Amino acid sequence: MDTLLSLLHGFTVAFEPAKLLFCLIGVFLGTAVGVLPGIGPALTVALLLPVTFKLDPGGSLIMFAGIYYGGMYGGSTTAILLNAPGESASLATALEGSKMAKAGRGGPALATSAIGSFVAGLIATIGLAFLAPWLVEVAVKFGPWDYFALMIVAFVTVSATFGDSPLRGLTSLFLGIALGLIGIDKLTGQARLTFGVPELLNGVEVTTLAVGLFAVGEAFYVASKRFRDPEEIIPIKGSLWMTKEDWKRSWAPWLRGTAFGFPIGALPAGGAEVPTFLSYSTEKKLCKYPGEFGKGAIEGVAGPEAANNASAAGTLVPLLTLGLPTSATAAIMLAGFQQYGLNPGPLLFAEKPDLVWGLIASLFIANVMLVILNLPLVGLWVRLLAIPQPWLYAGILVFATMGTLAVNGSPVELTMLFAFGFIGYLMRRYDYPVAPMVVGLILGPMAEAQLRRALQISLGDPMILLENPISATLLGIAFIALVAPFVMKGLNRFKASED
Amino acid sequence: MTNDIRAQGADKPALIVGVLLLVVAFLVGYDAAQQTIVATYGLGPTAMPYVVACGLVILGFSHFVVAFRGGLPKPEAADGKALLWIAAGLVCLIGCIALGGGFVIAIALLFACTARGMGRRAFAVDLAIGFVLGLAIFLAFAKLLTLILPSGPLERLFL
């Protein structure tokens, strides 16, 4: 009952006309940026963060929710029409979606992904609303050792279990943690790794790293191989709307996708890649027309898209209740929260219930707006894709530097952006995942703080990590997750079924 | 995939990454060793850097092993000229901001250089487009968000 009341209260906050307008602007901007090729939701949020900078926390968080969902939707549009997924979570969508678009069924593919995202987002947000308060109660009892163990789990799962090579994932993670060391140590005031540069005392901005690695890195990467794979937009032919048959084939995958996405997204191990591919392979098995898979089966778009959106709402569970980001997008959202001086976690629910429930309520509203806005406007988004590539990437770089300049326009910060961009390019070139680096930067200092707090309480006895059942279990999970990929080396889970 | 390609001898990129990781590890460890504040109990500010340095050393040596066993994925040849143009654009931007040239000119230069790097051949036109774009962004930030982006003489005309 409490949950319903809080949620209702959240809706009264979110239904103020000004808030609705923020949400609408957020959805619009989020879709517009998210639809650009190579830009996934994480980058969309990072690029648009400065726009919300000067609003009050409530308004900006709500705009934020809109940007987030808009970015997700825009990403799937690109995946379907360009076969250029902005992030690994829309890989599965691109598989069938682009085939459908080539077969002249781009309209229904976009529609099933939009409506599927809507259904999944709605169910998953309800799940979030009911799961979060319960988890908050559990989290209140967590000690620093438990938080530390949770973060270790997140480290391992983000870097070692996903991607092609655990070694490259871990390298990316450790470089991120090393970057996180830069600046003043919060417990003692000791300056670390600043090399006498005063701008480094505040540490590396998460948004600078994310925008550098993702946006600038992507621009470099595309420029470096621009003659080799010209991307072609597949024009939408025929009706935009789904036929009765399409509906019949879509509703079950939507629900199954949601059932995969939300629980896996809500785990501290999280991520959206696993549920989308699970959904894809499940739909492939259950499909009544297996021959269509690989040629554009609507189930292959409906399921993974729903799973993707549901897991996105799922990652908000650990983010809001524990302050634990489990995806690149969540890591940047956490940076956004911190920008407004908010620290997600159990305390936030107690101290700022208006804000938290207002945010959850606006997730619902953003979802509704997306469907209303996007299906009719799809023509506009497609035209955005038709911008000539040189202008497109020049514009992306303008956006990227604009964000850095708006927050902190020092030449040192810009130089860092440039350097991270080049590192991002090299990482792309040699197939290192970039997301673990961002997660390492944001979680590294948090993990360190929790560990030191734990050891202060135990008077320096490290056994405290293993004596508590929760932290011991979590560390055990992390260890298994770290070792398993090395043990089962031949077992390259999704590659086999995908190719 | 990468296992099929057995390079003769060591894979150079993997070796370089390994060396770079060791250099970063050394920097992190050296910086920690130079620190003066020590915690009275529990962990001090140097513990985590040492852990990270150790991790980086292990990863560095793992890259050496990888270098002799297939190496990193082989990338396609890159278009160096395009990269240089974009890098030049970013350098222009940083220089323009550092020297007080202002946001609009910096963005115009970045836009034109990037577009050139991506294959356009109309530098003057792109410069003009970048200029208008920069001005629009500057005014939108200043008027709608009351956030003043770095200003030079040109921007002050509009404030």
C-alpha angle with apex A408: A402 to A411, nearest 5 degrees?
85
Distances from the Cα of A423 to the Cα of A56, A165, A214, B89, angstroms: 35, 18, 10, 17
pLDDT of residue A496: 42
Cβ distance of B110 and A50 shorter than 8 Å? no
Coil/strand/helix, residue B153: helix
pLDDT of residue B42: 62
C-alpha angle with apex A29: A81 to A131, nearest 5 degrees?
90
User: Would you say A307 and A289 are in contact if contact means Cβ atoms under 8 Å apart?
Assistant: no
What is the average pLDDT across A251-267?
87
What is the average pLDDT across A201-219?
87
C-alpha angle with apex A282: A278 to A286, nearest 5 degrees?
175
- Distance to chain B for A443, nearest Cα, Å: 13
B123/B90 same-domain check: yes
Q: Profile chain B (159 residues) by mean pLDDT over runs of 10 residues.
A: 51 91 94 75 79 94 88 82 92 92 92 90 92 91 82 83
- Max distance between CA atoms of chain A, in angstroms, equals 70
Closest CA to B16 of B52, B67, B59: B67
pLDDT of residue A270: 56
pLDDT of residue A414: 92
What is the average pLDDT across A229-246?
68
Residue A184: in which H helix or E strand, if any?
strand A183-184
Residue numbers of B between 50 and 79 with CB closer than 8 Å to A: 52, 55-56, 59, 62-63, 66, 72-73, 75-76, 78-79
Q: Can you read off the two tokens belonging to residue A334?
A: 């956490």
pLDDT of residue A227: 62
Name the DSSP class of B93. H
| Residue A494 confidence (pLDDT) above 60 | no
The answer to whether the predicted template modeling score (pTM) of the entire model surpasses 0.90 is: no
**Alpha helices (H) along B1-158:** 12-33, 47-68, 80-98, 103-117, 123-144, 153-156
User: Would you say A213 and A438 are in contact if contact means Cβ atoms under 8 Å apart?
Assistant: yes
Cβ neighbours of residue A46 closer than 8 Å, sequence gap 6 or more = A207, A210, A211, A214, A215, A332, A335, A403
Cβ neighbours of residue A106 closer than 8 Å, sequence gap 6 or more = A80, A81, A100, A234, A235, A236, A237
The reply to whether B73 falls in a domain is no
B61/B114 same-domain check: no
C-alpha angle with apex A53: A87 to A206, nearest 5 degrees?
45
Residue ranges covered by each domain of chain A: 2-498
| Residue A90 confidence (pLDDT) above 60 | yes
pLDDT of residue A499: 36
Count of domains observed in chain B: 2
The reply to whether B74 falls in a domain is no
Cβ distance of B107 and A402 shorter than 8 Å? yes
pLDDT digits (tens, 9 = 90+) for B75-121: 878 888 889 999 999 999 999 999 988 899 999 999 999 999 888 88
Residue B79: which of A170, A223, A451 has the nearest Cβ?
Answer: A223
Mean pLDDT, chain A, as a whole number? 82
User: Would you say A400 and A420 are in contact if contact means Cβ atoms under 8 Å apart?
Assistant: no
| Residue A498 confidence (pLDDT) above 50 | no
How confident is residue A493, by pLDDT bands cut at 50, 70 and 90?
A: very low
B113/B48 same-domain check: no
How confident is residue A225, by pLDDT bands cut at 50, 70 and 90?
A: confident
Which of A199, A221, A224, A226 to probe the B interface (max B CBs under 10 A)?
A224
| Residue A460 confidence (pLDDT) above 70 | yes
Tell me which amino acid residue A157 is: T
Q: Can you read off the two tokens belonging to residue A433?
A: 């995942």
Helix, strand, coil: what percent of chain A each, to 5?
75, 0, 25
| Residue A88 confidence (pLDDT) above 80 | no
Give φ, ψ of A191 to 5 degrees. Answer: -80, 130
Q: Minimal Cα distance from B121: which residue of A?
A: A390
Cβ distance of B94 and A193 shorter than 8 Å? no
Closest CA to B105 of B133, B143, B65, B70: B133
Cβ distance of B37 and A430 shorter than 8 Å? no
Highest mean pLDDT among A175-179, A372-376, A476-480, B114-118: A175-179
pLDDT of residue B127: 94
Q: Are strands A183-184 and A191-192 parallel, antiparallel or unpaired?
A: antiparallel
pLDDT digits (tens, 9 = 90+) for A313-360: 888 888 888 888 877 788 888 888 887 778 888 888 888 888 888 888
Closest CA to A51 of B156, B140, B111, B110: B140
Q: Among B68, B94, B118, give the residue marking a domain's end.
A: B68
pLDDT of residue B75: 82
Residue numbers of B between 81 and 140 with CB closer than 8 Å to A: 82-83, 85-87, 89-91, 93-94, 97-98, 103, 106-107, 110-112, 114-120, 126, 129-130, 133-134, 137
pLDDT digits (tens, 9 = 90+) for A62-81: 888 788 888 888 888 888 88
Q: Among B19, B46, B68, give the residue marking a domain's end.
A: B68
Q: Can you read off the two tokens belonging to residue A355?
A: 């804000």
Cβ distance of A175 and B24 shorter than 8 Å? yes
Residues of A in contact with B93 (CB under 8 A): 401, 414
Which of A414, A427, A458, A489 to probe the B interface (max B CBs under 10 A)?
A414
User: How many Å apart are CA A495 and CA A475, to the nearest integer?
Assistant: 28
Cβ distance of A225 and B76 shorter than 8 Å? yes
The reply to whether B138 falls in a domain is yes
Distance in angstroms between the alpha carbons of the first and the last residue of chain B: 58
pLDDT of residue B84: 93
pLDDT of residue B3: 45
How confident is residue A162, by pLDDT bands cut at 50, 70 and 90?
A: low
Residue A183: in which H helix or E strand, if any?
strand A183-184
Range of the domain at B55: 2-68
Number of CB pairs, chain A paired with chain B, less than 8 A apart: 188
pLDDT of residue B40: 57
| Residue A87 confidence (pLDDT) above 80 | no
B106/B38 same-domain check: no
User: How many Å apart are CA A47 and CA A171, to the nearest integer?
Assistant: 25
Give φ, ψ of A98 to 5 degrees. Answer: -70, -30
Coil/strand/helix, residue A192: strand
A187 vs B13, which has greater pLDDT? B13
pLDDT of residue A238: 62
User: How many Å apart are CA B149 and CA A414, to the nearest integer?
Assistant: 13
Q: Minimal Cα distance from B46: which residue of A?
A: A192
Highest mean pLDDT among A228-242, A387-401, A477-491: A387-401
Which residues on neighbouring strands pair with residue A191, listed in sequence order?
Answer: A184
How confident is residue A244, by pLDDT bands cut at 50, 70 and 90?
A: confident
Give φ, ψ of A185 to 5 degrees. Answer: -70, 125
Distances from the Cα of B43 to the Cα of A47, A472, B50, angstroms: 37, 20, 11
User: Would you say A272 and A72 are in contact if contact means Cβ atoms under 8 Å apart?
Assistant: no
pLDDT of residue A265: 83
What is the average pLDDT across A278-305?
83
User: How many Å apart are CA A338 and CA A323, to the nearest integer?
Assistant: 10
Cβ neighbours of residue A302 closer than 8 Å, sequence gap 6 or more = A112, A113, A116, A249, A250, A253, A254, A257, A283
| Residue A241 confidence (pLDDT) above 80 | no
- Distance to chain A for B127, nearest Cα, Å: 11
The reply to whether B15 falls in a domain is yes
Half-sphere exposure of A49 (CA within 13 A, CB side): 32
